[in-house]
Amino acid sequence: MNQTNETVTLSSNTEQTGASKLESPEEFRSWLQDELRLAKAYWRKEIQKFIIDRKLRDLEFEVARRAHDRVTDTIANARKWNAGKWPMRGDDGKQFPIQAEEFAALEKFSNPEPFLIDKSLKPETLAVIAAPMIGKRLTKLLPSEAVRIAHDLLTAAQDYLDTSRKAQADRFAKHLFTRITVSFEEIEQSNKKESGQLPLLRPVQTRRNAGQLKLSAIKAAVRHFYETRTNFLPQENEETKNDCLLNSRIPLPDLCEMRWKRFKNFWQKQQRRAARRKPPKKSPPKHARKRQQ
């Protein structure tokens, strides 16, 4: 969570521009409150239920981390508003505070945990686990062949640990997650129940197609994202879109942003529909109806 006294940066230029046009304190408070509610709903519906009691690998962890940062950042913004420390707004926040019940305990939004290779894990342990898997595929072996396979397993386990630990250390030390691209196939596979993963991009209406997104739908979502994104130059959006569609891959930060915007747009549409619905007419009590008769 942001521990400084600076206002947390809003998630896009579009949101900053929209917020700056809100002149009345009540409107600005409502905007901050909606952002906070959205961030919490996004975490609960799109992240939390898929990662409970699990440690996350690279892509899953980065998607979950960014969603968690959004929750803590919007809470920090709301608290700054209530303290009357929002830039150019004076004591507006103190006079029109966000209600206390909006500040859910952060314990409910526990940090996602990365899957880190245990430093005490030995290659011999991995080799012993892998041996039965190999043995099922082989007929009876000569002692010399069995020893050779055991040696190969041990060497492979050592190489795996060395490579994985180095790659893991590099990513966390240099924040290489921002340079990762995700294939459309990885996105499609992550949505399948048997994958046991955090879905990287779910359908907007999750009950459709059993929560699956076909490659054609993923491409359509990517195309729409870049064609409607306003915080980058149109030429840059067009070039990135074409590159993504040509290579069937999308930068991980863009995937996270697209994931968030799809949820936000759907949530806001649902809110507008609910607001337009007319409340059902209340029928008068029975004794009143008798009097009318």
pLDDT at 142: 58
Confidence of residue 284 (pLDDT cuts 50, 70, 90): low
How much is the mean pLDDT over the chain? 79
Cβ(62)–Cβ(113) below 8 Å: no
pLDDT at 293: 54
292 burial class (0-12, 13-18, 19+ CB within 10 angstroms)?
Answer: exposed
d(CA 120, CA 176): 25
Secondary element (H or E) of residue 249: strand 249-251
pLDDT at 286: 59
- Is residue 145 pLDDT above 80, yes or no? no
Confidence of residue 168 (pLDDT cuts 50, 70, 90): low
Sequence letter at residue 180: I
Confidence of residue 195 (pLDDT cuts 50, 70, 90): confident
Paired tokens of 76: 């920090």
Whole-model pTM: value is 0.70
